Structure 1
């Protein structure tokens, strides 16, 4: 600095150049701060949308109805225990939960909630109000999907856990005696919710009546595909869920299920399917045009 001050009497251009280089070499803290504030503000708005989605799916009449349906496994387990059914044990629990929980409750709860995420906004012409905020369509689709996933798991997981506890208590077994059964059903519930939700969410931006198409897929195709020979079952979600149950449970009714897919492979397929369908949903949703409601 001293040399610069001394030379300023004789070589001002040299000092000016030194100052310019020093200023240019410093990172712009203002730009970095602005980017950080923008990221925080964007995350806050995404969090608000996420919370609103969860609250909407859980607090409306739809949420109350699906909560009642999700409680059916617990009601059945409680009824069998109170009725003192002698044959009721962990094996009968599995026999009941596979068709009841996976093929009815899981499909219906995910179908009703996932198809409502974007389709209701589209039909009611309320999406333009959401998109007036600084949020992109793909971000909107992803955040709503994550909100859906949390909401349906809140509905589906507690009844399964409680039904398992009731079964173990009725048998006189410890809670951890058949932990593999509980872990398998929780795993299939989480992965099934993700996969079915992504599929039904994709239907909601692809067709005008996603609920009708979803009913055909969930309760017709998923029900009959297991009886079709060859590799056709690989085109269904329920096949991979059953493969996970077979691979994770040491002994149960699904040990004889015909599948060449291991539990880890089935889990990877369902995760990849969920991500792929979510990307497709965001891409299709991005190309859609909306009119503001008059």
Structure 2
């Protein structure tokens, strides 16, 4: 189910000069914000939670997910180079699964690790806040990668739709509209963070059992459907 050649090509595409600059920019900004906040306010659990929840989980993780998820396959479909990959003796579900693994790995490295560093800077991991939000970033990375990989498979405007979802639905509706929070990856990941960090600064409007089921369901269904859509791409000579 995992093809090293597909993985190598996908890593090369995602970590090219242009995308790498964007991928590094957001984590660097988070760490810079953490330093500034620590200097100005000192160690405070609630402030740390506000920064990590408000910027890392609500903004940085979904944006990096958009870059990695859509970039893992979208550009190849847009420019037609995907046909060369599909012509190889590699099963199409294997291609999707491999690209998902790469997208997850890239999203985790560029979101979870900076979240942990920022959390430790902010309050030295008081009440496990840094670890809790890091786990939330790891969990969210999986669901976002699957969701945005699907978008990259079904639409030529995947980046636009991904940004709308990340910035409008997740950051706006997912925060302000109670009913929409149940359908927010951000809230699902925060449910995990709340369990890890304990009661206090971290809260979620979704219960952990519901969040777990929805995280797994979105990941599995999005990956499966992306594989099905890739099957519909026909090459010359296909029956």
Coarse TM-score class (shorter-chain normalised): 0.7 to 0.9
User: TM-score scaled by structure 1?
Assistant: 0.72
Query: How far does residue 106 in structure 1 lie from its aligned partner after superposition?
Result: 0.8
Q: Is 1:51 aligned to residue 8 of structure 2?
A: yes
Q: Is 1:71 aligned to residue 28 of structure 2?
A: yes
Of 113-122 and 267-276, deviating more is 267-276
Query: How far does residue 210 in structure 1 lie from its aligned partner after superposition?
Result: 1.0
Match of 2:221 in 1: 276
* Cα distance between partner residues in 2 of 1:144 and 1:221: 25
113, 118, 122: which one pairs with 1:163?
A: 118
* Cα distance between partner residues in 1 of 2:193 and 2:14: 28
Q: Which structure 2 residues correspond to residues 213-292 of structure 1 after superposition, within 5 A?
A: 213-222=161-170, 223-229=172-178, 231-255=179-203, 257=204, 259=205, 261-290=206-235
Deviations 1:188-227 (A, max 9, x none): 1111111111111111122221111112111111221343
Match of 2:52 in 1: 97
Structure 2 CA distance for partners of 1:286 and 1:204, relative to 1, 3 Å: same
List gaps (5 residues or longer) in structure 1: 1-41, 170-174
* Cα distance between partner residues in 1 of 2:235 and 2:70: 18
Query: How far does residue 290 in structure 1 lie from its aligned partner after superposition?
Result: 5.0
Query: How far does residue 99 in structure 1 lie from its aligned partner after superposition?
Result: 1.4
Structure 2 CA distance for partners of 1:232 and 1:153, relative to 1, 3 Å: closer
Query: How far does residue 284 in structure 1 lie from its aligned partner after superposition?
Result: 1.0
* Cα distance between partner residues in 1 of 2:52 and 2:24: 17
Structure 2 CA distance for partners of 1:253 and 1:178, relative to 1, 3 Å: closer
List gaps (5 residues or longer) in structure 2: none
Query: How far does residue 126 in structure 1 lie from its aligned partner after superposition?
Result: 0.8
* Cα distance between partner residues in 1 of 2:185 and 2:235: 32
Secondary structure of 2:41's aligned partner: coil
Aligned residue pairs: how many? 235
* Cα distance between partner residues in 1 of 2:32 and 2:199: 24
User: TM-score scaled by structure 2?
Assistant: 0.88
Deviations 1:96-144 (A, max 9, x none): 1111011111111111221122221011111121123210222111111
Deviations 1:176-196 (A, max 9, x none): x533x2332122111111111
* Cα distance between partner residues in 2 of 1:149 and 1:232: 25
Query: How far does residue 91 in structure 1 lie from its aligned partner after superposition?
Result: 2.2
Structure 2 CA distance for partners of 1:80 and 1:183, relative to 1, 3 Å: closer
- Compare CA radii of gyration and give the structure with the larger one: 1
Deviations 1:214-254 (A, max 9, x none): 1211111122134324x443222222123223333224433
* Cα distance between partner residues in 2 of 1:153 and 1:194: 8
- 2:69, 2:145 within 8 Å by CA — same for their partners in 1? yes
* Cα distance between partner residues in 2 of 1:87 and 1:79: 10
Of 50-59 and 63-72, deviating more is 50-59
Of 54-63 and 134-143, deviating more is 54-63
Computed over aligned residues only, the root mean square deviation of the Cα atoms, in angstroms, reads 2.2
